[in-house]
Structure 1
């Protein structure tokens, strides 16, 4: 199973997200060396649409920021990014963001890196943007500002930006500026990791029809997404959100090592194409043996085994092993070509339209927030359908859906485990 890491449900929940406690943020952006204010610098809350430009005195203001933890980022030409992690409660915050100059002096010769190799850049763009219908409508407008490198020895593909990578998402109507992007693709493990400080800007629709299309596409991207799941988990509304969570137990395959030895011995003893029909059949059977087997328990996991709420209200997703999450009521993207994972045995058939994803936790627990974000996104690895969705479906954390239909509850499954082999590295 390949994973990638990173970087609301019904009207009652929509209202609670939109109307949650808010506070005010004010501050000033300064040169870290001279302590002079930086006029017209960009300041934003990462992964949201909340941004501001400093005044001539370097001052900025966010009048209404929902309660939560954010990275507040300052950007200015000729300076490194300034970043702070802040927690917004009900008390107004006053901040100072210090930006360090890059050190380039007037007249200094700047050596630009060699241009990206076209095939390496194309691979990066495809992996980063994704292969969905919405991803096909995403365009990187400043390709020369990203440096893509392929390590010949490890075959790891990495990409970095000095300032930001700009993506225009014509499907959702967002212009995304991804500051400080770091991207890595490990071909051997089949994993993708990327992070940075993105900010969203609303694009201007050309007419009312496009505005409605963007709103509908955003709702489609949101429904069943990882953000949707985390908001439902946070508010204990997984069933109302049409989610089914199931435990996966992964164990070593006792037949794998023996099958590999038999296969290698037969390959070493014979010449290509000189095998008998029985030997060819044995090779096929041994090749199908996988290193590990996964046992899927069809019974839905209770909320107390997935969520821990501290007395102070801080909420954590927690589980051991792997978790399978199915969302019902929306068909997968037509470009999703993988076989959808099974849900196990049920007396009543599961709905045909579903999206099935996989989850792993690095340390068994990860803190989640009301807006559907993780305090540390790198604590979670995603696979299955969520591994397929990437920048094309990427929404800001201050997105609030409207017009979402009340979902139908899926049939309750019987508590009978189904064993299914999965390939893992």
Structure 2
């Protein structure tokens, strides 16, 4: 009995020591006046670890898992501070000094914000930020009035900002997400959507140790085959074991479409001069290469064609491990990632008006700019905005499927 009690006491001491070591203490104050700032948000980006500064501006974060993270400190009316750190440097004592945020003046040369922005652009923003997945139907932004919309007709872009962190309830996965939106840009010309921000996750379940089984099941479904799952598999050299099939892909110009388009444009100009509708000349039979049906089919193709390698890649062919054990990802052009055995959501097919049975999830990633990206065991990437995803991940990697970095299936 004495030995058991001694071992139990030792475990308690070791646990307390571990918590003491894996923590951050600090204060938040005004950079000019030095006055402490209460109720400032202090959290580790992309995780469920967060706190609020007390009346005296002090804060404390405990039980920080091993890895490299970003500590985010923000308060209404102040500029956000982002402090990168490694758990190897813990414990830490930080004094965070926030600068007041300058008022944004809408000069004549600047495109003004829309007066009824949410009514006009709310659906476009929601579909491209929250997503159109099955889970997205159960996601709600609770404070939409903080969103501001600016549309440029000449550039065909939609810019969205927020005066305060967005509060998002994801009842599909069981999370309340505080998302500090730093920028959102939808470009119709580039056919791209980019948004950046900092997130803090909180379980909707009252009892964190007894999460409803429906949320556990849905979280695992959202994780399996995701970009986070892929990065973790890549880091641990378990691509094949986790059913990821990776190949190199390059895109080349669709020369035949360019040829057909030139003929079409010439025909169009000629018909505008003479009047009448456009019709392609048939050189011989209806089966001729330059028949009307052939031209129409070519014009519906993409501007570029994909050339895919037959060889599947292993982690060590695209990862480099440094002397300090840091792992960096680098590759030219594109990587095609297939999640074997995982069918596409029917909502994905509906969104893109694809009329076929669901196939395996197929995604593309590219580095922009073409520079190495550091990856972490948690699934984190630095800098995250340098990985551009398209096809399935371009559709699925939205807020409705987002999981915290400290999630474990």
Q: Are 1:394 and 2:406 an aligned pair?
A: no
- C-alpha displacement of 1:392: 0.9
Task: Please give the alpha-carbon distance, in whole angstroms, between the structure 1 residues aligned to 2:90 and 2:208.
Answer: 40
- C-alpha displacement of 1:184: 0.4
Task: Please give the alpha-carbon distance, in whole angstroms, between the structure 1 residues aligned to 2:208 and 2:328.
Answer: 42
Provide the secondary structure at the position in 2 that maps to 1:329: strand
Task: Please give the alpha-carbon distance, in whole angstroms, between the structure 2 residues aligned to 1:26 and 1:207.
Answer: 24
Q: Which of 263, 272, 278 in structure 1 is aligned with 2:277?
A: 272
Structure 1 partner of 2:320: 308
Runs of 4+ in 1 over 6 A off after TM superposition: 206-210
- For the Cα contact (< 8 Å) 1:225–1:386, is it kept in 2? yes
- Number of residue pairs matched? 363
Structure 1 partner of 2:8: none
- For the Cα contact (< 8 Å) 1:146–1:162, is it kept in 2? yes
Task: Please give the alpha-carbon distance, in whole angstroms, between the structure 2 residues aligned to 1:199 and 1:254.
Answer: 47
| Correspondence 1:20-419 to 2 at 5 A | 23-89=22-88, 91-102=90-101, 114-116=115-117, 118-204=119-205, 211-270=212-271, 271-272=276-277, 278=286, 280-288=292-300, 290-337=302-349, 338=352, 354-362=360-368, 363-389=370-396, 390-401=398-409
Q: Which of the pair has more CA radius of gyration?
A: 2
Task: Please give the alpha-carbon distance, in whole angstroms, between the structure 2 residues aligned to 1:64 and 1:26.
Answer: 12
Alignment CA distance shift 1:97-1:206 (3 Å): closer
Q: Deviations over 1:179-203 (max 9, x none)?
A: 1431000111110100011211211
Structure showing the higher helix proportion among its residues: 2
Structure 2 partner of 1:12: none
Provide the secondary structure at the position in 1 that maps to 2:307: strand
Provide the secondary structure at the position in 2 that maps to 1:27: strand
Which range is displaced more, 352-361 or 143-152?
352-361
Structure 2 partner of 1:348: none
Which range is displaced more, 50-59 or 207-216?
207-216
- For the Cα contact (< 8 Å) 1:29–1:37, is it kept in 2? yes
TM (norm. structure 2) is 0.82
Task: Please give the alpha-carbon distance, in whole angstroms, between the structure 1 residues aligned to 2:389 and 2:25.
Answer: 36
Q: Which structure's relative contact order is higher, taking Cα pairs within 8 Å and 6+ residues apart?
A: 1
Task: Please give the alpha-carbon distance, in whole angstroms, between the structure 2 residues aligned to 1:89 and 1:207.
Answer: 27
Q: Deviations over 1:358-408 (max 9, x none)?
A: 01012142111111011101111001111111111011111111xxxxxxx
Task: Please give the alpha-carbon distance, in whole angstroms, between the structure 1 residues aligned to 2:50 and 2:393.
Answer: 28
Q: Deviations over 1:228-268 (max 9, x none)?
A: 00001011111111110011122233333322211212233
- For the Cα contact (< 8 Å) 1:72–1:86, is it kept in 2? yes
Provide the secondary structure at the position in 1 that maps to 2:266: helix
- C-alpha displacement of 1:72: 1.3
Which range is displaced more, 134-143 or 285-294?
285-294
- For the Cα contact (< 8 Å) 1:38–1:58, is it kept in 2? yes
Which range is displaced more, 283-292 or 89-98?
283-292
- C-alpha displacement of 1:275: 5.8
- C-alpha displacement of 1:274: 5.7
Structure 1 partner of 2:12: none
Q: Deviations over 1:185-228 (max 9, x none)?
A: 01111101000112112113699997111111111110100000
Task: Please give the alpha-carbon distance, in whole angstroms, between the structure 2 residues aligned to 1:160 and 1:336.
Answer: 27
Task: Please give the alpha-carbon distance, in whole angstroms, between the structure 2 residues aligned to 1:285 and 1:52.
Answer: 57
Task: Please give the alpha-carbon distance, in whole angstroms, between the structure 1 residues aligned to 2:101 and 2:260.
Answer: 57
Alignment CA distance shift 1:286-1:38 (3 Å): closer
Structure 1 partner of 2:9: none
Backbone CA RMSD of aligned residues = 2.7
TM (norm. structure 1) is 0.79
- For the Cα contact (< 8 Å) 2:268–2:278, is it kept in 1? no
Alignment CA distance shift 1:259-1:51 (3 Å): same
- For the Cα contact (< 8 Å) 1:159–1:181, is it kept in 2? no
Provide the secondary structure at the position in 2 that maps to 1:94: strand
Task: Please give the alpha-carbon distance, in whole angstroms, between the structure 2 residues aligned to 1:289 and 1:185.
Answer: 23
